[in-house]
A and B are shown apart, each in its own frame.
Chain A
Amino acid sequence: METCLIRKEALDKIREIKEADILVGIPSFNSAHTIGHVIQAVREGLARYFPGSRSVIVNCDENSTDGTMDIVRNASVDSSPSAPLSHKGNSVFTIVTPCHGLPTKGNAFRTFFEIANMLNVKACSVVDSHLRSITPEWLDLLMKPLLAEGYQYVAPLYYRHKYDGTITKNIVYPLTRALYGKRIRHPMGRDVGFSGELARFYLTKDIWGKDVAQFGFDIWMTTTALASGFKVCQSFLGTRLRDARFVQTDLSSMLYQVVGMTFSLMETYRQVWPTVSGSEEVYTIGSQRAVGMEPVFINLDRMIDKFKLGMKELLKIWEVILPEETMNFLYRLTYMQGREFYIPDEVWTKIIYSFAIASHRNVFNTEHLIKSLTPLYLARLASFVKETWESSSSEVEEKIEQLCLAFEKEKEFLLKNWGAERK
């Protein structure tokens, strides 16, 4: 029961609670504007969909300076550990604790896994503290498959604008699907459900001392569940709206964290993904609806200019990473204008696979390698936007499906070059 991760006050509460059925984790950082709403939705969801269950809401805060933890404490009707909120026969306890060690998402999740293990919970879910669109139903959608249908990991599925999640659409989803053979549409979903057994399994993994940064943790959780043979499904949660004040990290750092983690997991599971061919649908809960297309501002010229600058300055780096035929295409692409400027799925697939191979062979420092992908990603993004500017959401999905098939088809290229010697 002892752990160095959790503070004494939280440990005392855990000792008093002893056992629970459900754990809902909420990692937070400066979420004072939204966390009250999130807590309210969670409490209502627990009361409505899991009556009679002993539930624990755990807030792990990453050093907020806006009083987020106080709001969570006040949002609990009775924060006393020995006097849980009783609503229609269920008991809801609240634990509020600061994040141990470096305030990262990985460490917040580790705290949830530790508490889930100590309380021997059956099902866990984690939701983002910056959410504006969370409803009580999300709790049911994320945990019902775990408790009633024997699933061990529930990935979220959202309504998203066609230009939201473009790294997921163009890199992470097609790559994860081709590698592990499961069609998890949002492998980097922030709001997830997982069984107590899987939480204990995550704890056994040796990643905690490493740099598990803000964006890489989601893909780590999904990939670990997929590659380790846990039963995975996805739940349709609807629209996902976040607090607009939340500042995004710069693009190259996001790419480094997400793509770097995906490549690193390819090393970890190098015995698993080479044996997989093709892909299959996973069980999906909830009815999916098409999302409306609001007009957006996108400066394509700026993206293309960055690619051209990359061609001028990063050529020597790319020449080491990319095959000759791909480089020849990129030379031609530099001179393409207007509608002509386009990176086809097959070329983009080879670019991503070549970067994965270069990362495997330690051609350059990994951070340099992946950050040098940024201008190429922007060129692909410009192509994607041009191609889908007039498309409906279902047509965009069709394009993504075609890209995924290209990744599956070209997997042979990856397998052939993964074990080969450097050129």
Chain B
Amino acid sequence: MDKVFQKVISEPFQMFLKNILQFLPNFLTFLLIIIIGIILGRVLYTVSLRIFRAIGLEKFSERSGVVDLIRKGGIKDSVSVLLAKSVRWITVIIFAIIALRALAIPTIEGLFERFLLYLPNVFVAATILFLGYLLGNFFGRAALIASVNAGIKIAGVMGRFVKFTVFLLSATMALEQLGIGKETIVIAFAIIFGGVVLALAIAFGLGGQDTAKEYIKKKLKGETEEEKKDDISHL
């Protein structure tokens, strides 16, 4: 009976206690690292917020349209606060990963190793998307203003088309960076872009035969009477 008790209850319990005692220092280290991460995250939040405000990030983000973007997304925080929060959470996550490694559990170690290796891709993809948004806004606005000044009636459509195309290109690059359907994305982009251009060409060729004829005639023979230039010297 004693033997049975020892085999069934005592030995596993002792083993359990032994494992607990072996695991406890790792767990305490885990907790300590997490606490340090949280404290450091808070410190870095305060410091980076001050730096972002000092370098005039708010003004820059207003000019570049980032403020509009985040407002449209329903976020009420300023760009400086958002970035400072990102710094805090990145710090906490990094410390959490280090802490999990300290637990020395092989499954978790493998999982986080893969996650850690994937993290730079996420960062690069986010940067590409962000730059794509800024460039899309810039070129979209330039196209809009140039089209209005040229008197093109569909100036708004042209501006939006340029903005959308630049952003779409950056989104494609970002997805490729993340390794999501690499070939599919590139082919899809080529099909969409090529399709739009083909549609425009067909629309202009069939629907705007007269306009195309008039345009070519004008280019070859000079200006028509209606488009005679003003006798004004602006300078």
* Residues of A that sit less than 8 Å from B by CB: 161, 163-168, 188, 215, 248, 250-252, 254-255, 258, 296-299, 302, 305-306, 309-310, 312-314, 317, 362-365, 367-368, 371-372, 374-375, 381, 422
Contacts known (A168-B235, A372-B145, A381-B232); A309 close to B63, Cβ less than 8 A: no
Q: In the docked arrangement, what's the CA distance between A94 and B4, Å?
A: 119
B149 contacts A306, CB within 8 Å? yes
Indicate the member of A252, A309, A313, A367 with the most B CB atoms within 10 Å. A313
Assign chain B's interface to a size class.
Answer: 20 to 34
A306 contacts B151, CB within 8 Å? yes
For A164, what are the chain B residues with a Cβ–Cβ distance below 8 Å?
Answer: 232-233
Q: In the docked arrangement, what's the CA distance between A252 and B63, Å?
A: 21
Q: In the docked arrangement, what's the CA distance between A372 and B159, Å?
A: 13
28 interchain pairs, CB-CB under 8 A:
A161-B233, A163-B231, A164-B232, A164-B233, A166-B234, A167-B234, A167-B235, A248-B233, A251-B149, A252-B146, A252-B149, A298-B230, A299-B228, A302-B151, A305-B151, A306-B148, A309-B153, A310-B148, A313-B147, A313-B156, A317-B141, A365-B63, A365-B138, A365-B141, A367-B142, A371-B146, A374-B148, A374-B149
Contacts known (A251-B149, A252-B149, A305-B151); A314 close to B230, Cβ less than 8 A: no
Does B171 interact with chain A (Cβ within 8 Å)? no
For B155, what are the chain A residues with a Cβ–Cβ distance below 8 Å?
Answer: 309, 313
Q: In the docked arrangement, what's the CA distance between A137 and B1, Å?
A: 132
A163 contacts B233, CB within 8 Å? yes
Q: In the docked arrangement, what's the CA distance between A188 and B155, Å?
A: 32
For B151, what are the chain A residues with a Cβ–Cβ distance below 8 Å?
Answer: 302, 305-306, 309
Contacts known (A309-B148, A309-B151); A362 close to B59, Cβ less than 8 A: yes
Closest Cβ of chain B to A304, distance in Å, is 11
B156 contacts A312, CB within 8 Å? yes
Does B99 interact with chain A (Cβ within 8 Å)? no
Closest Cβ of chain A to B153, distance in Å, is 7
Q: In the docked arrangement, what's the CA distance between A314 and B147, Å?
A: 11
For A314, what are the chain B residues with a Cβ–Cβ distance below 8 Å?
Answer: 144-145, 148
For B146, what are the chain A residues with a Cβ–Cβ distance below 8 Å?
Answer: 252, 371
CB-CB nearest in chain B for A171:
B234
For A363, what are the chain B residues with a Cβ–Cβ distance below 8 Å?
Answer: 63
A254 contacts B148, CB within 8 Å? no
A313 contacts B234, CB within 8 Å? no
B149 contacts A375, CB within 8 Å? yes
CB-CB nearest in chain A for B232:
A163
Contacts known (A372-B145, A375-B149); A297 close to B231, Cβ less than 8 A: yes
- Closest 6 CB pairs between A and B? A296-B231, A164-B233, A252-B149, A374-B149, A167-B234, A313-B155
Of the residues B159, B232, B235, contact of A296 by C-beta under 8 Å: B232
Q: In the docked arrangement, what's the CA distance between A367 and B142, Å?
A: 9
For B148, what are the chain A residues with a Cβ–Cβ distance below 8 Å?
Answer: 306, 309-310, 313-314, 372, 374-375
Closest Cβ of chain A to B176, distance in Å, is 29
Q: In the docked arrangement, what's the CA distance between A27 and B143, Å?
A: 34
Contacts known (A302-B151, A309-B151, A375-B149); A188 close to B141, Cβ less than 8 A: no
For A254, what are the chain B residues with a Cβ–Cβ distance below 8 Å?
Answer: 234-235
For B235, what are the chain A residues with a Cβ–Cβ distance below 8 Å?
Answer: 165, 167-168, 188, 215, 248, 254, 258
Closest Cβ of chain B to A322, distance in Å, is 16
For A297, what are the chain B residues with a Cβ–Cβ distance below 8 Å?
Answer: 228, 230-231
CB-CB nearest in chain A for B230:
A298
CB-CB nearest in chain B for A250:
B149
Given A297-B228, A364-B63, 8 extra CB contacts under 8 A: A166-B232, A166-B233, A250-B149, A255-B234, A297-B231, A309-B151, A317-B141, A363-B63
A362 contacts B63, CB within 8 Å? yes
Q: In the docked arrangement, what's the CA distance between A254 and B149, Å?
A: 12
